[in-house]
Structure 1
Amino acid sequence: MQLNQLNRSLTLVPVVLFGFSFMALATVFSTYGIAAELSHGMVSGSYLLALFVMLFTAYSYGQMAKVVPSAGSAYTYTQMAISPHVGFMVGWAVLMDYLFIPMVNYLLFGIFFSSAFPAIPSYVWVLGMLLLVTFVNIRGIRLATMANALITIFSLAFILIFIGFSAKEILGGAGTGTLFNFEPFYNPDESFSYIVAGAALLCFSFLGFDSATAFAEETVNPKKTIPRAVLIITLVGGAIFMSVSYFAHNAWPDYTTFTDPDSASHEIITFVGGKALASLFLAVYAVTVFGSAMSSQASASRVLFAMGRDGQLPKFFGKLHSKYKTPINNILLISTISLLSLVLSLTLVASFINFGAFIAFISVNIAVIAHYFVKKKERSAKGVILYLVLPGIGAALDLWLLVNLDIHSKVLGSIWFALGFVYLIFLTKGFKQRPPELHLSFENDSPDKTA
């Protein structure tokens, strides 16, 4: 066992809370208006399709977590199951998500609160949130776990309150006037392609189930805990997203009448609950943004830690804090990079995220096939279904949604990917040598011992 390892202290509930916090359950509100336009009102249908796609990929993450109980997530899985070269490129793609998701959260926090309190400049809110997130992550997993529990409870409470107010208005004759309506899922007068377009966007909402795997080295019994956590995060998150969008549609069925799609949820919330509920939403959104920024920064720091410890990045990235056993160099670096949120636009930053996610998702599905079906020769009827058909469907569906991303995502993502390829050429001296890799067997003899 390597000496430079993270401490194992997390059980199922804290890992799930990290996933929910990264996922930011209240993100369903921030994306609702844009998703409604893209899907022509069929937001719940788009979420259902996105959930269907994500379940295949969540299954593959769970299968790889059983045999690779190590920090690094998709990077580690593909490095060991396919090749260190592919692993490096996947790690590079994953960093695109993890480095830019905190920026999105800081930007949104600044936008919402500078709008609510115009006397205070946006940069004050951004810097304040950034410093708080950095402090919590440096202090360690235990403090972050407590914060995640409060954030998740607060978010779920608001979602239930919103659904209750919406149901009251709908039953009182507002919106569609009925709680039983299939149109949020599918409108026969609209093309199915609109649901697909919405799903390609809304897969962004599910980013978080995969982040749980980055904490494998800090989890007790990761071979069982991580797969369970991944499945719970995906299913519960999908159910919440579909429920909120279902009631939002029935309360305000005509998406073309929103004053501004970016703030459509605020209009709906004010409509069903008045200014008091709208003020509560602002408080919930602040807490949610904090949780997502904290979890995404923590996940990114651990992917960098795994790559630094393996030698695929300089040793600077593989260092832990002497007291808190957290990857402090990476946390501070990510915070420094996140300062770009003071000058970059939300559209530009958001364009990076889904591209890297789908690259990682496709690669993890392929990793399952490479490890179980090819290397382990699991080729019985059951093996063919579990280790070829299911991950194969997952990879195909992820590729389908990758192709359906907007042009900005694909162009900017390709540029980032190309930069990583150039660095890989430098790292391997023109592919004359293998990149450094993690020397950890798949069947770890004692993965659950405390470091």
Structure 2
Amino acid sequence: MMSSPLSGTANVPPARSSDHVHSAQGTTLRRVLGLPSLVFFGLVYMVPLTVFTTYGVVSANTGGRTSLAYIVTLAAMIFTALSYAAMVKVYPVAGSAYAYASKSFGPSIGFLAGLALLLDYVLLPLVNYLVIGIYLNILFPVVPAWVFVVACILLVTVLNIVGIASVARASNIIVLVQFIFIAVFVAIAVAFIFSGSHSIDLAAPFVGDGGKNVTFPALMTGAAVLCLSFLGFDAISTLAEEAKNPKRDIPRAIIIATVGAGLLFLVLAFISQLVFPGTAFKDPVSAASEVMAKAGGDFLNIFFIAAYVAGATGSAIASQASVSRIMYSMGRDGILPRRIFGTLSARFKTPVISILVISVISIIGVNANVDLLFSVVSFGALAAFSVVNLSVIKRYLWDEKRRSGRDVLLYGVLPGVGFLLTIWIWTSLTASAFTIGLIWLGAGFVYLLFMTKGFRKKAPEVEFSDSL
């Protein structure tokens, strides 16, 4: 039997490096985060302005029905967020979907769920860096976009190595700046909409612009891409070992962040579509800049870029923090090489090696296609979300044999609906994203076969404690 996640995996040889030790040697993640910090962490991960990251792409894909696509996505995410809240009460540990699937269905399924999460978490920082480069290059065209990307990677890496407390402090400031911008944007945009300069069609954000993409499959494809906007609630669950009261605060933070951010995304998308009806953008990736320029001229556009870059930087900080902890959890269990990924810095108490690996991957991907990255990130997220919904049913109704009407509703019907919705949206992704995602999972399955000698050997597993 293994030890609890706070003490690490038992009988693990000490790390050779004097600066890195395995958690079994007494190095643990620090419990410093309360409910406000957890909610803000989730919000900054999702980025209140993330609606503008995918706004142009989703508008083009759905024929101008981004608001309706957000409604579809939010419905699925609320059910899944409830499933996360239910599982974190049982397993308040780092590892997210990987931990929940491991304890519900065994370490092999847990590994594949963790691998799906790794796909989106590894790529999400890269998405943020690339968009930062695109928008800063609009302001400073003489500076190549890759220069901004590399500079941001270095900043984010340093902040994550120093520790989660610094990340939380930075997150608070970033969220505040974005909410100030949102208030200014809404005021200016509403004034523009009702200025009489053009006709208003309040139904347009839901019925579309009449183009070829105004179909139900196109709507679901757009909704699938928008799932990357909601990764913040999963990110919150990865901080369970750094929360002061994880069983109480993590579930609350997950629900607050999901519902709050979802409603905010919906409102901002609705207002943006009224400002700039249709989908005739010069560049869908940077379409938000056109919306801002039309509503408030250069002032609003520059303010937007500044606030957006700050938000995207915060999201990169949060996403890198989360994926490094997932890799640490998998390394601690022996799923990934333990001496590399299952160690914490003795000085900073953070998974430094995992943080550096993510930074290197981001630098390698500076020329990646942003549109495709959106869909691939959503592929990993939706696959993991589906497994978490099933984990609730397995844990509460099957393992604990709960059979009351309330239990069947909370731990059977709700996660069941969440599972069906996530699978429906998942299968609506583009063929390219599906191909890349399946190749990734296929490679992981081959690796799992190698580790388990064709499943003759059980995959490594930690005995998570539920006594916190």
What TM bracket, shorter-length normalisation? Answer: over 0.9
**Structure 1: gaps (5+ residues):** none
Check whether the contact 1:175–1:253 (CA below 8 A) recurs between aligned residues. no
2:169 corresponds, among 123, 142, 146, to 146
Task: Work out whether 1:65 is the aligned partner of 2:88.
Answer: yes
In structure 2, the residue matched to 1:30 is 53
Say how many residue pairs are matched. 441
In structure 1, the residue matched to 2:303 is 280
2:132 corresponds, among 96, 109, 114, to 109
Q: Following the alignment from structure 2 to structure 1, what is the Cα–Cα distance between the partners of residues 346 and 379?
A: 36
Check whether the contact 2:189–2:271 (CA below 8 A) recurs between aligned residues. yes
Q: Output the aligned Cα RMSD.
A: 1.6
Given residue 335 of structure 1, which amino acid in structure 2 is its aligned partner? S
Deviation per CA, 1:187-236, whole angstroms, max 9, x where unpaired?
A: 69754444323212212211211110000000011111111111011111
Q: Following the alignment from structure 1 to structure 2, what is the Cα–Cα distance between the partners of residues 289 and 156?
A: 14
Check whether the contact 1:94–1:357 (CA below 8 A) recurs between aligned residues. yes
Give the SS at the match of 2:396. Answer: helix
Q: Following the alignment from structure 2 to structure 1, what is the Cα–Cα distance between the partners of residues 360 and 208?
A: 46
Deviation per CA, 1:173-197, whole angstroms, max 9, x where unpaired?
A: 134447xx24323469754444323
In structure 2, the residue matched to 1:293 is 316
In structure 1, the residue matched to 2:362 is 338
Q: Following the alignment from structure 1 to structure 2, what is the Cα–Cα distance between the partners of residues 154 and 135?
A: 22
Deviation per CA, 1:267-321, whole angstroms, max 9, x where unpaired?
A: 1111111101111111112101111111110000000011111111111111111
Task: Work out whether 1:399 is the aligned partner of 2:423.
Answer: yes
Q: Call closer, same or farther: CA 1:232–1:175 in 2, change over 3 Å.
A: farther
Give the SS at the match of 1:313. Answer: coil
Matches within 5 A, 1:312-351: 312-315=335-338, 316-351=340-375
In structure 2, the residue matched to 1:90 is 113
Check whether the contact 1:100–1:350 (CA below 8 A) recurs between aligned residues. no
The structural deviation recorded for 1:136 is: 0.3
Deviation per CA, 1:93-146, whole angstroms, max 9, x where unpaired?
A: 110011111111111122222332222222221111000000000110111111
Q: Call closer, same or farther: CA 1:222–1:122 in 2, change over 3 Å.
A: same
Q: Following the alignment from structure 1 to structure 2, what is the Cα–Cα distance between the partners of residues 294 and 207?
A: 14
Check whether the contact 2:159–2:166 (CA below 8 A) recurs between aligned residues. yes
Q: Following the alignment from structure 1 to structure 2, what is the Cα–Cα distance between the partners of residues 123 and 71?
A: 33
Check whether the contact 1:175–1:250 (CA below 8 A) recurs between aligned residues. no
Give the SS at the match of 2:124. Answer: helix
In structure 1, the residue matched to 2:448 is 424
In structure 1, the residue matched to 2:247 is 223
What is the TM-score of this pair, normalised by structure 2? 0.91
Mean Cα displacement is larger for which, 421-430 or 259-268?
259-268
Task: Work out whether 1:239 is the aligned partner of 2:263.
Answer: yes
Given residue 464 of structure 2, which amino acid in structure 1 is its aligned partner? L
In structure 1, the residue matched to 2:145 is 122
Deviation per CA, 1:39-82, whole angstroms, max 9, x where unpaired?
A: 22221111111100100000000000000010000000000011
Mean Cα displacement is larger for which, 112-121 or 378-387?
112-121
In structure 2, the residue matched to 1:167 is 190
1:214 corresponds, among 234, 238, 242, to 238
Q: Call closer, same or farther: CA 1:275–1:369 in 2, change over 3 Å.
A: same
The structural deviation recorded for 1:164 is: 0.7
Give the fraction of aligned pairs with identical amino acids, expressed as a percent.
Answer: 41
The structural deviation recorded for 1:388 is: 1.1
1:183 corresponds, among 204, 210, 213, to 204
Q: Following the alignment from structure 2 to structure 1, what is the Cα–Cα distance between the partners of residues 452 and 164?
A: 35
Given residue 267 of structure 1, which amino acid in structure 2 is its aligned partner? E
Check whether the contact 1:110–1:126 (CA below 8 A) recurs between aligned residues. yes
Check whether the contact 2:70–2:262 (CA below 8 A) recurs between aligned residues. yes
Check whether the contact 1:373–1:388 (CA below 8 A) recurs between aligned residues. yes
Check whether the contact 2:61–2:221 (CA below 8 A) recurs between aligned residues. yes
Mean Cα displacement is larger for which, 104-113 or 60-69?
104-113
**Structure 2: gaps (5+ residues):** 8-22
Deviation per CA, 1:317-343, whole angstroms, max 9, x where unpaired?
A: 111111221111111111111111234
